[in-house]
Structures are given as structure tokens and as C-alpha cells.
Amino acid sequence: MNDEPRIHPTADVSPGATLGPRVQVWHEAQIRENAVLGADCILGKGVYVDFGVKIGDAVKIQNRASVYHGATLEDGVFIGPHVVLTNDMRPRAITPDGVPKTDDDWTVGETLVRYGASIGAGSIILPGVLIGRFAMIGAGSVVTKTVPDYGIVVGNPARIMGFACACGEKLSGGAELLRCQSCGRRYREISDDKGRSRGLVDIDD
């Protein structure tokens, strides 16, 4: 088996990027310096991966998605087409004096997308957000705050609408026990000391 990355001739991959075994980079994608991709990742047409981005194993990034500096994607993350992971809460091209801003004139907002999470097509993820394990972001959502593990969020701004199983199906049941009608996995919701949901724990794991 050939473990070498497969890179389309039209893709632009920096010599300073690190690509793991069996990575596939398709038409017109760009991967910048110091980006790190784990094994078995697939990057679709026109994907942009900024400098220093960290991407785990088996991550799938669909056409025209943009993953900017400051983002970290753990293993098994799905990024839908035209998704944007942003990194600046107060973007300006110039200073108040009209001088073009430089790389030293702003603070990078870091974003973490945890294991197995999915981000639907056309969504925008604001900086400083954590998206939990196996969370599901509905298409076209604007995510402005942390999404709990297994949480389903939709809208602008995105709000939680329930919970998803690791297999992708919406869960049913109460807070004490939620069950997947498709695969049968069971979950329990956990809360912080103020009663806010921290997401689910898989009691069959």
C-alpha cells in the first residue's frame, strides 16, 4: 500500500507543511507553511488551510472551506463546503490613522473543534469557540459560543436544538437517559455547578 500523500497538480502545498500518510489534496487547494495534517485526511477542491493550523487524523474538509490560523481540528472532524473558521473578532484593514495593519496589530482568536464533530455547509465559526466532541453544526449556522459535546446547534446566532449520537442521528429521551433509535447507544446529560449543560457522556463507551 502506498502511504504517500496524493496531491493534485493544481494544489499549492508549502514545502514547510507536514502531511501525514495517505492524505488526499484535491484541485486548487492551498496548504500553507507550518500547517500539520494527520493521516488519512481529505481536502476537497479549493480548500484553504492557513499557516500553523493543526489537523488530526481522518479529517474531511469539503470544497472551498477556509480554516484560518489559530484553528485546531481533532481526529475525525467533518468540515462541510464553504465553511469558514475565522480568527479575528475585531477585523480592520487599517489602523485609526489609516495605516495598513500588520501581523503584529491584532490578536489571534483560537478555535478548537473536538473529536468527531461535524460542521455543516456554509457555517461560520467565530474565534475563541470550542466545538465539543461529536457536536453537529447545522448548515448555514453562525457559531458564536461553545457547543457542548454531542450538541446540535442551528441558526444565527447558533442555538442548541438537541443532541446527536456519535452515529449522527438525533437522540431522544430525557436528561437521565437519551438513546439513539438507530444504533442503540445510550447517553446521559451532565451539567456544571450552575445547571448549564456540559453536553453528554456515552454510557456505553
175, pLDDT greater than 70: no
User: Residue 49's closest CA among 13, 5, 76, 88?
Assistant: 13
Is residue 73 within 8 A of residue 91, CB to CB? The reply is no
Each residue's pLDDT tens digit, 109-140:
999 999 999 999 999 999 999 999 999 999 99
Give the number of domains in the chain.
1
Whether 205 is covered by a domain: the verdict is no
Q: How far is CA 166 from CA 34, 59, 89, 94, 119, in A?
A: 31, 15, 31, 44, 14
Whether 191 is covered by a domain: the verdict is no
Burial of 157 (0-12, 13-18, 19+ CB in 10 A): exposed
11, pLDDT greater than 90: yes
Whether 201 is covered by a domain: the verdict is no
- pLDDT > 90 in the chain, percent: 86
Each residue's pLDDT tens digit, 13-39:
999 999 999 999 999 999 999 999 999
pTM for the whole thing? 0.94
Each residue's pLDDT tens digit, 89-100:
999 999 999 999
CATH code, domain with 98: 2.160.10.10
Question: Bridge partners of 197?
Answer: 191
Residues spanned by the domain of 116: 6-171
79, pLDDT greater than 90: yes
pLDDT at 192 (0 to 100): 80
